[in-house]
Amino acid sequence: MLIQNKSIVLMILVAFSPITLASELGKTIVMQGNSSGAMACSICHGANGAGQAQAGFPNLAGLDPAYMQKQLQDFTTAQRHNPIMTPIATALSTDEMNAVSTYFAQQSTPTMKPTTADDSLLKAGQQLAQNGNWANDVPACFSCHGAQAKGVGMYFPALAGQHASYIEQQLNSWRSGQRSNDPNQLMVGIAQRLSETEIKAVSAYLANLTATNN
Amino acid sequence: MWLTKTNSRPPQGHNGRLATRFLGAVLLSSLLFNPAFAEEKDYQVELPAAPKGPASFTPPNEADIPNNAFGDAVRYGLSLFTNTQQLRGQYVGNELNCVNCHLNKGRQANSAPLWGAFPMYPAYRKKNDHVNTIDERIQGCFTYSMNGTPPPFGSKELTALVTYHYWLSTGAPVGQALPGRGYPKLDTPAEDPSVSRGEVVYQDNCAICHGENGAGTQVDGRYAFPPLWGKDSFNWGAGMHRVNTAAGFIKANMPLGKPNSLTDQQAWDVAAFMNSHERPQDPRYEGNLEQTAETFHQHQCFYNKEVDQQRIGQGVK
């Protein structure tokens, strides 16, 4: 009887613990949006966070949660301007941002279809990702985003398995100044020193790398 | 005094006995170690500075490493150079890799490129009164920068590293200092390097990769960004513990992807901040800090100096 009581207490504790509540909140917003006008994340990113390659909606599954929280915060400022995300992020409270970030971080990384990019483009992308182009002060992607671009902490997101369309779009956003929320302006300078061909090549190569959870 | 926030006076706050002992040690060491003798064993002597001007030497492409026994040694050397941690516990005693200080696989000008070092050896060193080979110089890196035990002469590891140096220097003139060799020498800063100003530079520019406490960043138990001080970093005998050496490296190479973005003053300050922390003991230490400082640390460094009322150079394990 005593043991049974303990289990009930434990169940109640688990059910109402802040973690459980947060994950419920995350799931609810992902699936339904909130009452302040944020639409459901799943409409564009999918319930599993896989995103949509064609539309350039990023894969969020398995990304670092603190990285995603920061991006949502930054969408509410001029640091990361995006016509779709800015109004959504503005309609989320900090707790809600944290909850959806945690939700997506916990989703397992989807298996991406191999890209149709041609071999020479992928080879050029691999060269840049692994070795950089130091003659132009571009370090290897892997030197900051980690071995095989699996991501390093909250500042260097995983790029492996991210949609090529999204990576390309972001590199161009840094070049144009639409995105300037990189710590210490590390990406702005690098993006500006990349050629159009290099951007296409490295995006295709990174998209093709198998992603794993951060 | 070129360093602020340091104090090389004998410790006053403790007691007279300690101060007397300190003075005694200084006197004793000055009696025992005349300058010529004092400099013996110092393998970390700098070679002549590189001539000014842009680097013009281009090392060969990796794709052109030949497919034969020689090429195999080059590739093994390259592998050891980029992932030196495969020798951890054997020859490597910390968490660093050669490429942490020799960027771009030892190819990068102004980041102590191997093609700048190799053609300068063998070199006679007055400091240890014999001709040093490149093998011996690389062994020095293992003793100090890698805080380990050097691979022996003729070992396959040392031979492979030398072979990689040689291959990377293909076409470089022998015995001639090339522009881009070593780290750039910065002019003496307008203001003495300051640890406290350096801390601000560090937190603003370095901490996101190297951590607020210089411990680096790990992913799955491996370092994505190297530790800059503490037990897992280079020891008190490594060239990088000198503030001038670190300042030159930092100015030309850090933050990664933003070379030459710090002012000279910022580079000096942040180098002072980095090198005002504890790290593994100088392997030449034989039980007496003052004596070791006197013999081996007559240069711009914090070994046996006071930082925040603490005498540093005690070493950490």
Residues of A within 8 A of B217 (CB-CB) are 152-153
ipTM of this predicted structure = 0.86
Note whether A12 and A94 are same-domain residues.
yes
Please judge whether B225 and A152 are an interchain contact, meaning their C-beta atoms are less than 8 angstroms apart.
Answer: yes
User: Among B21-25, B70-74, B204-208, B221-225, where is mean pLDDT lowest?
Assistant: B21-25
Residues facing residue B222 across a β-bridge: B219
Note whether A12 and A102 are same-domain residues.
yes
Residues of B within 8 A of A152 (CB-CB) are 217, 219, 224-225
Please judge whether A144 and B255 are an interchain contact, meaning their C-beta atoms are less than 8 angstroms apart.
Answer: no
**pTM higher than 0.90 for the full model?**
no
- Give A192 to chain B, closest Cα distance, Å: 11
Tell me the average pLDDT of chain A.
Answer: 89
pLDDT at B26 > cutoff 50: no
A48 pLDDT tier (thresholds 50, 70, 90): very high
Tell me the average pLDDT of chain B.
Answer: 88
Integer Cα distance of B122 and B125 in angstroms: 9
User: Among A21-30, A124-133, B58-67, where is mean pLDDT lowest?
Assistant: A21-30
Q: Write the residue in A134, A146, A184 that is nearest to B104 by C-beta.
A: A134
- Give A179 to chain B, closest Cα distance, Å: 18
Contact between B119 and B169 under an 8 Å Cβ cutoff? The reply is: yes
Number of domains present in the structure of chain A: 2
Looking at A106, A129, A163, the residue that finishes a domain is A106
**Mean pLDDT (whole number) for B28-32:** 38
Instruction: Give domain status of residue A30, yes or no.
Output: yes
- Give B300 to chain A, closest Cα distance, Å: 29
Looking at A50, A74, A106, the residue that finishes a domain is A106
Alpha helices (H) in chain A, listed in sequence order: 2-16, 18-32, 42-45, 65-75, 85-90, 94-106, 119-131, 142-145, 164-176, 186-193, 196-208
- Give A130 to chain B, closest Cα distance, Å: 10
Please judge whether A147 and B104 are an interchain contact, meaning their C-beta atoms are less than 8 angstroms apart.
Answer: no
Tokens (6 digits) for A68: 């995603």
Note whether A69 and A156 are same-domain residues.
no
Please judge whether B205 and A184 are an interchain contact, meaning their C-beta atoms are less than 8 angstroms apart.
Answer: yes
**Mean pLDDT (whole number) for B207-217:** 96
**Mean pLDDT (whole number) for B203-222:** 95
CB pairs under 8 A between A and B: 51
Query: What was the pLDDT predicted at B44?
Result: 53
Instruction: Give domain status of residue A10, yes or no.
Output: yes
Note whether A18 and A100 are same-domain residues.
yes
Q: Write the residue in A131, A143, A147 that is nearest to B256 by C-beta.
A: A143
Note whether A143 and A67 are same-domain residues.
no
**Mean pLDDT (whole number) for A120-132:** 96
Note whether A28 and A101 are same-domain residues.
yes
Q: Write the residue in B103, B217, B255 that is nearest to A186 by C-beta.
A: B255
Tokens 């030196």 label which residue?
B84
Note whether A21 and A49 are same-domain residues.
yes
Note whether A147 and A54 are same-domain residues.
no
Q: Which structural domain, as residue segments, surrounds residue A173?
A: 119-208
Residues of A within 8 A of B257 (CB-CB) are 137-139, 144, 186, 189-190
Instruction: Give domain status of residue A114, yes or no.
Output: no
Contact between B7 and B270 under an 8 Å Cβ cutoff? The reply is: no
Integer Cα distance of B180 and B113 in angstroms: 8
- For strand B222-225 and strand B217-219, is the pairing parallel, antiparallel, or unpaired? antiparallel
Instruction: Give domain status of residue A86, yes or no.
Output: yes
pLDDT in tens, A54-95: 999 999 999 999 999 999 999 999 899 899 999 999 999 999
**Mean pLDDT (whole number) for B119-132:** 82
Q: Which residues contact B276 (CB under 8 A, 6 or more apart)?
A: B5, B6, B195, B198, B302, B305, B307, B312
Note whether A84 and A144 are same-domain residues.
no
Q: Write the residue in A138, A143, A146 that is nearest to B219 by C-beta.
A: A146
A139 three-class SS: coil
CATH for A182: 1.10.760.10
Tell me which amino acid residue B99 is.
V
**Residue ranges of chain A whose CB lies within 8 Å of a chain B CB:** 131-132, 134, 137-139, 143-144, 146-147, 150-153, 155-156, 183-186, 189-190
Please judge whether B256 and A134 are an interchain contact, meaning their C-beta atoms are less than 8 angstroms apart.
Answer: no
Note whether A53 and A149 are same-domain residues.
no
Looking at A61, A77, A106, the residue that finishes a domain is A106
| B294-B295-B299-B303 Cα dihedral, nearest 10 degrees | -60
Taken in order A64, A70, A76, A77, the sign of the CA dihedral is: negative
Please judge whether B257 and A153 are an interchain contact, meaning their C-beta atoms are less than 8 angstroms apart.
Answer: no
Note whether A6 and A95 are same-domain residues.
yes
Q: Domains in chain B, start-ordered, CATH in brackets? A: 6-32+184-311 (1.10.760.10), 62-168 (1.10.760.10)
Question: B126 or B19, which is more confident?
Answer: B126
- Give B205 to chain A, closest Cα distance, Å: 6
Instruction: Give domain status of residue A171, yes or no.
Output: yes
Query: What was the pLDDT predicted at B128?
Result: 66
Please judge whether B258 and A186 are an interchain contact, meaning their C-beta atoms are less than 8 angstroms apart.
Answer: yes
pLDDT in tens, A132-179: 999 999 999 999 999 999 999 999 999 999 999 999 999 999 999 889
Instruction: Give domain status of residue A134, yes or no.
Output: yes
Measured CA distances, B101 to A49, B104, B113 (Å): 39, 9, 9
Instruction: Give domain status of residue A113, yes or no.
Output: no
3-state secondary structure chain B: CCCCCEECCCCCCCCHHHHHHHHHHHHHHHHHCCHHHHCCCCCCCCCCCCCCCCCCCCCCCHHHCCCCHHHHHHHHHHHHHHCHHHHECCCECCCCCHHHCCHHHHCCCCCCCHHHHHHHCCEEECCCCEEECHHHHHHHHHHCCCCCCCCCCCCHHHHHHHHHHHHHCCCCCCCCCCCCCCCCCCCCCCCCCCHHHHHHHHHHHCHHHHCCCCCCEEECCEEEECCCCCCCCCCCCCHHHCHHHHHHHHHHHCCCCCCCCCCHHHHHHHHHHHCCCCCCCCCCCCCCHHHHHHHHCCCCCCCCCEECCEECCCCCC
Instruction: Give domain status of residue A112, yes or no.
Output: no
Note whether A141 and A179 are same-domain residues.
yes
Residues of A within 8 A of B258 (CB-CB) are 137, 184-186, 189
